[in-house]
Amino acid sequence: MVEFLVILPAMLMLIFGAIQFALIFHAKITLNYAAYEAARAGSLGNADFNEVREGFARGLAPLYSYSADDKDQVAAFQRAREKVLNLVDDQILVRIERLNPSTDVLNHYKGNGEIPNDNLLFRNFSSSSADKQKVSIQDANLLQIRITYWHPLYVPLINRMIFSFICCRDQDEDFAEENWSISSFIGSKKGDTCRWGEDRACDEDEPHIPLTAVAAIRMQTPAR
């Protein structure tokens, strides 16, 4: 009995931790798929943000489609899709960035209102100076986006521990300094408390952690 009471807290933390990290892993896989769907929609929709937004909502909707019977699956998917669209519009828990083409590259190449997308194999491969880098028209037709999604932590006890570690709450500078190699893995530098510490999505009452996915795809339509 005594041995059980001694091992019980550690056993509960291991069980809760396994459940929570399984949920995080599931969310990351879904996010990777949603990022690909967003990039694919953008490549087919002239790199328009609304197309990217819609593609991402379709891809991430299964993460918010909870219990539904056969008659309610479509309605559940639509509700989940609307929820994801609201998250994108709020720009707090979901942030979509276009990494390529940058705004300068886009403005540089779209002389006629769009980046030419036809006959890329036969176009000049020489690079032009844009966005402080030399980018060819072939590279300008590569759509690359980065999506940061703040995933909620549901499992009690372990959720606040993970949140405190990722967002570096309740940690002094000495702790961050001694563990800077771990902190650098999640984006901060030695001497900094954390990359995410002051982020507006950090809320101790509703713990979330940031998950990031990057997707790249060749444009199938001219970027505008």
Is 124 inside a domain boundary?
yes
Provide the residue range defining the domain that includes 59.
26-153+210-218
Q: Which residue has the tokens 């499992």?
A: 155
Q: Band the pLDDT of 178: cuts 50, 70, 90.
A: very low
- Establish if 91 belongs to a structural domain: yes
Q: Decide if 190 is inside a domain.
A: no
State the average pLDDT for the chain.
Answer: 80
Q: What is the pLDDT of residue 67?
A: 61
Measure the CA–CA gap between 67 and 194, rounded to whole angstroms: 37
Distance CA 181, CA 175 (A): 11
For the chain, the 3-state helix, strand and coil shares in percent, each to the nearest 5, are: 50, 15, 35
Strands, E assignment, 35-169: 94-100, 128-130, 133-135, 142-152
Tens digits of per-residue pLDDT, 111-162? 667 787 777 776 766 655 555 567 777 878 889 999 999 999 989 888 888 8
pLDDT tens readout for residues 36-79: 999 999 999 988 999 999 999 999 999 988 765 556 788 888 88
Burial (Cβ within 10 Å: 0-12, 13-18, ≥19) of residue 219:
buried
Most confident stretch, 6-10, 111-115, 165-169, 212-216: 212-216
Is 17 within a domain? no
**Residue 83 maps to a domain:** yes
Domain presence at residue 87: yes
pLDDT for 111: 65
Within-domain flag for 132: yes
Domain count, the chain: 1
pLDDT at site 164: 81
**DSSP state for residue 153 in the 8-state scheme:** P
Tell me whether residue 46 is in a domain: yes
